[in-house]
């Protein structure tokens, strides 16, 4: 038996082209006659539009067309919701361009199309819009008072409510020995892929076909929506992904621009390019994470958890975007985490404000809920004088309880079921790898002017499922060579490598025969995309099935030729063997030739290919532990991370290099979100963080070397590969682990972290407040 490719640390094939600058991104697409678009965005948070005067701008030589919502006319549709369509949200969808009113700074008002981006931006300057300012509302509580209505016609800023009720929380709270109530908040921040959004749309007037480059993440779904908007048959649209400089949930969702640019190309009959700049990205692409949680916990004296009761408020911004109520709802969905909590009650509120719309950002809702829960557990451990590790150990769901049904936590779907896992074992392994016992004496210690703290967080993250299926097509060609076509997308995850490994093992060919193609709606007719850590779970499983199907076909043909039953044969490293013999009986190259050149084989059909779809509406759950050791300078509030570790069980690891890369990248991103990044609004609803001088991302000098331990203790029973998603685990626990570590560090000062980010200013403010209280 040849050594399997799955599990081998094979370097990413795509890296050569990325690191030598040979990738092709949206902005690299240059078509003859191509025009450039720029979007006029509202500088106001909330205002009525009195008039828009484009006359001066149109007169600039090289400006081809300027359009507003009126010019789209009857075709104008709002950007539809794709998921988490909690009833009520549908009243708050975003028009393609502002209609009468602008509701957040950055809202698209008009589109300029010109011979160059420079000219297009000159024209933006020359458009005159007369606004009548309205009072704005930015914060949850103010919005809930409905004194300022963002959408007057709806009469309320509370767009929707979703309720969860499992067991009898009220009774549990009555009987409990211990209860505590706290309010936690995660701040607004979002994903910043190195490549901002952007696309090139090219309408072929003769054939009435539209090709769009730079579309990503959900090619098939997006194509369907845009086809219906443009009133073209779906198959007349070709959506092509190109290389992508990162997605993180942000890129590839439908935004107004995804309608406006194809629309402009169709009207003008010329290719149109739009590349989002960073300022636009920070104010117009989905924001995320801003969720407040009033959390109550009930337990017995000995620390046995009895119930959780929560009110969750999502600051949805001015419009409900494609993800609907996902962020606050999925915060609620996994709030109980990996623990046995029989009673859980939660009310989720989706609140509209004059900020940018909310969408997903890597580990949406899970980062937030992990912070809420794991902070609360540490507070409870301190109150009950129980060791925080013991408290968790006591309440973790045991392996023999798997699969474990939490109950109905998501709107209108199946109950949340933790598919498999050995939670206590991962905890033990994490403590050992981190050398927790050795570091623990440092807890709270003051050394060389800094307080030390060690914090941990347990997370569980649903992966896969979500949308019902993915497809893959595998073709054996001359050479011999194998081509794989995927319905999923690739936003930098390394699928060209991992999928080749999966195919090589399932088919029985050398990996270097295999080429992987993806990101084009013409390759595989149906599909969804890469998000929620589902790429390998869904797409990998589809490919596994397709490759197995093709192998069966090959063995049947070989059997016909060799006079043997397919069961007597095997395919290994590209050669067909009679089972139990050493010498190959038939070479695949020969088999391809036989099929191509005679009508005797494969019933005269020259092709050797197989398409398969993997269907599953069930979710796999990866899980693990984050551990952080920090030192905090109490005088400056600066937090330094001395050691950080992510331990994650992914069921089965296709390629450890890739999984480590995901864990490290995600952890760095999570650390950035926890310590540095924040989208800050100021006076008059102005977004103040519109460049990287103000919105600060972590760089290599700001994070320690992240240690990542990948476990494969419990494969998922939900797919043929046994895999669970690996893209987000490194992110989920960062807020929680760091907040716990900083809280331990500053425990002698009485500081308890309940809000993120842990910026020096905020840490200092907490210390200042506590010392003022103590002085009183």
Binding residues for another protein, rule: CB under 8 A, are 117-118, 121-122, 125, 277-279, 635-638, 676, 678, 680, 688-689, 691, 693-694, 696, 698-699, 701-702, 759-761, 764-765, 768
Asked whether 725 and 650 are in contact (CB, 8 A), the reply is: yes
C-alpha to C-alpha distances, 308 to 293, 621, 749, nearest whole angstrom: 12, 21, 28
Report the C-alpha gap between 747 and 453 in whole angstroms: 9
Q: State in angstroms the smallest separation of the CB of 367 from another protein.
A: 21
Closest approach, Cβ 279 to another protein, in A, equals 6
| Nearest-angstrom CA–CA distance, 95 and 283 | 17
DSSP for residue 690:
-
At a CB cut-off of 8 Å and minimum separation 6, what does 441 contact?
none
Minimum distance between the CB of residue 684 and another protein, rounded to whole angstroms?
A: 15
**Least Å distance between CB 760 and another protein?**
7
Distance, CA of 257 to CA of 511 (rounded, Å): 40
- CA separation (Å) from 702 to 90, 448, 575, 671? 42, 20, 51, 9
CB 111 within 8 A of CB 182: no
> For another protein, which is the closer residue by CB, 161 or 765?
765
Measured from the CB atom, the residue of 124 and 335 that comes closer to another protein is 124
> How many Å separate Cα 28 from the centre of its chain?
25
- Least separation, in Å, of the C-beta of 118 and another protein? 5
108-114 vs 63-67, strand pairing mode: antiparallel
Min separation Cβ 61 and another protein, Å: 12
User: How near is the Cβ of 773 to another protein at its closest, in Å?
Assistant: 16
Residue 243 or 677 with smaller CB distance to another protein: 677
- Least separation in angstroms between residue 637's CB and another protein is 7
Q: SS3 sequence, 715-771?
A: CCCCCCCCCCCCCCHHHHCHHHHHHHHHHHHCHHHCCCCCECCCCHHHHHHHHHHHH
- Nearer to another protein (CB atom), residue 146 or residue 699: 699
DSSP strands (E only) in 139-186: 158-166, 178-186
CB of 676 or CB of 732, closer to another protein: 676
* Complex with another protein: residue 355 or 621, whichever CB lies closer: 355
DSSP 52: E
Of the candidates 616, 491, 521, 494, the residue with the CA atom closest to the CA atom of residue 217: 491
Q: Which residue has the tokens 């199309």?
A: 113
**Closer to another protein by Cβ: residue 53 or 635:** 635
Smallest distance, Å, CB 21 to another protein?
A: 17
Residues 6+ apart with CB under 8 A from 604: none
What is the rounded distance in angstroms from the CA atom of residue 545 to the CA atom of residue 481?
19
Which C-beta is closer to another protein: that of 254 or that of 639?
A: 639
Nearest residue (CB) to another protein, 10 versus 63: 63
Residue 109 or 676 with smaller CB distance to another protein = 676
Q: Six-digit token pair at 681?
A: 């609004």
**Nearest CA among 380, 378, 395, 384 for reference residue 443:** 378
Backbone angles phi, psi at 99, to 5 degrees: -115, 115
Minimum distance from residue 769 beta carbon to another protein (Å): 11
């Amino acid at each position: 038996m040849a050594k399997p490719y799955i599990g081998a640390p094979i370097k990413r094939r795509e890296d050569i082209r990325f690191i030598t600058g040979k990738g092709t991104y949206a902005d690299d697409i240059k078509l003859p006659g191509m025009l450039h678009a720029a979007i006029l965005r509202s500088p106001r948070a909330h205002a009525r539009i009195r008039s828009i005067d484009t006359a001066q701008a149109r007169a600039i030589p090289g400006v081809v067309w300027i359009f507003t919502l009126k010019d789209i006319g009857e075709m104008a549709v709002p950007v539809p919701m794709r998921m988490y369509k909690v009833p009520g949200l549908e009243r708050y969808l975003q028009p393609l361009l502002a209609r009468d009113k602008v509701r957040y700074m950055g809202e698209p008002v008009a589109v300029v199309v010109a011979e160059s981006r420079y000219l297009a931006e000159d024209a933006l300057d020359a458009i005159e819009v007369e606004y009548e300012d309205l009072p704005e509302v930015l914060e949850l509580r103010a919005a809930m008072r409905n004194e300022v209505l963002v959408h007057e016609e709806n009469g309320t800023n509370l767009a929707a409510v979703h309720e969860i009720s499992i067991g009898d929380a009220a009774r549990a709270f009555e009987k409990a020995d211990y209860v505590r109530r706290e309010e936690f908040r995660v701040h607004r921040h979002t994903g910043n892929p190195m490549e901002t959004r952007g696309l090139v749309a090219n309408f072929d007037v003769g054939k009435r076909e539209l090709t769009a480059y730079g579309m990503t993440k959900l090619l098939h779904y997006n194509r369907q929506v845009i086809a219906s908007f443009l009133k073209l048959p779906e198959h007349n649209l070709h959506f092509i992904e190109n290389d992508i400089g990162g997605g993180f949930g942000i890129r590839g969702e439908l935004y107004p621009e995804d309608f406006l640019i194809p629309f402009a190309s169709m009207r003008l009959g010329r290719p149109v390019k739009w590349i989002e700049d960073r300022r636009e990205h920070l104010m117009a692409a989905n924001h995320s994470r801003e969720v407040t949680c009033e959390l109550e916990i009930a337990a017995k004296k000995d620390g046995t958890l009895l119930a959780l009761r929560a009110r969750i408020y999502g600051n949805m911004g001015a419009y409900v975007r494609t993800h609907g109520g996902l962020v606050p709802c999925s915060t609620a969905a996994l709030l109980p985490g990996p623990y046995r909590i029989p009673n859980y009650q939660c009310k989720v509120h989706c609140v509209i404000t004059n900020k940018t719309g909310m969408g997903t950002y890597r580990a949406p809702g899970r980062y937030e809920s992990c912070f809420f829960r794991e902070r609360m557990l540490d507070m409870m451990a301190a109150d009950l004088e129980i060791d925080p590790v013991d408290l968790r150990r006591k309440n973790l769901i045991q392996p023999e309880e798997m699969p474990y049904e939490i109950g109905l936590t998501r709107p209108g779907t199946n109950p949340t079921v933790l598919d498999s896992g050995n939670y206590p074992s991962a905890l033990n392994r994490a403590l050992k790898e981190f050398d927790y016992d050795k570091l623990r004496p440092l807890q709270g210690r003051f050394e060389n002017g800094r307080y030390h703290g060690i914090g941990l967080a347990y997370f569980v993250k649903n992966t896969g499922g979500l949308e019902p299926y993915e497809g893959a097509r595998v073709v054996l060609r001359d050479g011999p060579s194998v081509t794989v076509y995927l319905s999923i997308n690739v936003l930098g995850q390394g699928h060209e490598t991992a999928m080749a490994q999966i195919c090589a093992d399932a088919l029985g060919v050398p990996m270097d025969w295999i080429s992987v193609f993806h990101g084009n709606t013409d390759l595989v007719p149906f599909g969804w995309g890469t998000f929620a850590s589902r790429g390998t779970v869904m797409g990998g499983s589809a490919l596994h099935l397709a490759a197995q199907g093709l192998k069966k076909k090959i063995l049947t043909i070989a059997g016909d030729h060799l006079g043997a039953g397919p069961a007597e044969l095997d395919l290994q490293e590209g050669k067909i063997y009679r089972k139990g013999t050493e010498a190959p009986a038939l070479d695949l190259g020969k088999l391809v030739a036989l099929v191509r050149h005679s009508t005797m084989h494969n019933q005269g059909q020259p092709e050797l290919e197989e398409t398969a779809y993997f269907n599953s509406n069930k979710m796999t759950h990866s899980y693990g532990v984050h551990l952080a050791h920090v030192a905090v300078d109490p005088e400056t509030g600066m937090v330094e991370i001395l050691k950080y570790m992510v331990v994650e069980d992914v069921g089965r690891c296709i390629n450890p290099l890739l999984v480590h890369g995901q864990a490290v990248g995600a952890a760095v991103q999570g650390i950035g979100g926890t310590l540095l990044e924040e989208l800050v609004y100021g006076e008059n609803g102005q977004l103040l963080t519109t460049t990287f001088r103000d919105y600060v991302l972590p760089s290599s000098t700001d994070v320690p070397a992240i240690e990542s331990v990948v476990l494969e203790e419990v494969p998922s029973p939900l797919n043929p590969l046994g895999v669970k998603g690996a893209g987000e685990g490194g992110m989920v626990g960062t807020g929680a682990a760091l907040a716990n570590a900083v809280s331990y560090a500053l425990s002698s000062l009485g500081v308890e972290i309940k809000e993120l980010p842990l910026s020096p200013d905020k840490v200092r403010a907490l210390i200042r407040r506590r010392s003022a209280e103590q002085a009183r």
